[in-house]
Chain A
Amino acid sequence: AQSVTQLGSHVSVSEGALVLLRCNYSSSVPPYLFWYVQYPNQGLQLLLKYTTGATLVKGINGFEAEFKKSETSFHLTKPSAHMSDAAEYFCAVSDPNAGKSTFGDGTTLTVKP
Chain B
Amino acid sequence: KAGVTQTPRYLIKTRGQQVTLSCSPISGHRSVSWYQQTPGQGLQFLFEYFSETQRNKGNFPGRFSGRQFSNSRSEMNVSTLELGDSALYLCASSLLSQGAGNTIYFGEGSWLTVV
A63-101 Cβ-contact flags toward B at 8 Å (1 or 0): 000000000000000000000000000100011111111
Q: Is the CB of B45 within 8 A of A100?
A: yes
Q: Is the CB of B98 within 8 A of A101?
A: yes
Q: Is the CB of B104 within 8 A of A101?
A: yes
Of B4, B56, B98, the residue contacting A43 (CB under 8 A) is: B4
* Complex Cα spacing A45 to B103, Å: 10
Count B-side interface residues using an 8 Å CB cutoff: 25
Q: Is the CB of B97 within 8 A of A99?
A: yes
Point out the residues of chain B lying under 8 angstroms from A34, CB to CB. 103-104
* Complex Cα spacing A105 to B111, Å: 19
* Complex Cα spacing A104 to B44, Å: 10
Determine whether A44 belongs to the interface, using a CB cutoff of 8 Å to chain B: yes
Q: Is the CB of B42 within 8 A of A100?
A: no
Determine whether A51 belongs to the interface, using a CB cutoff of 8 Å to chain B: yes
Given A44-B90, A99-B48: A94 and B99 interface contact (C-beta under 8 Å): yes
A–B complex contacts, Cβ < 8 Å, 23 sampled: A32-B100, A34-B103, A34-B104, A41-B108, A43-B4, A43-B90, A43-B92, A43-B107, A44-B104, A46-B103, A95-B99, A96-B101, A97-B99, A98-B56, A98-B99, A99-B48, A100-B33, A100-B45, A100-B56, A100-B98, A101-B98, A103-B35, A106-B43
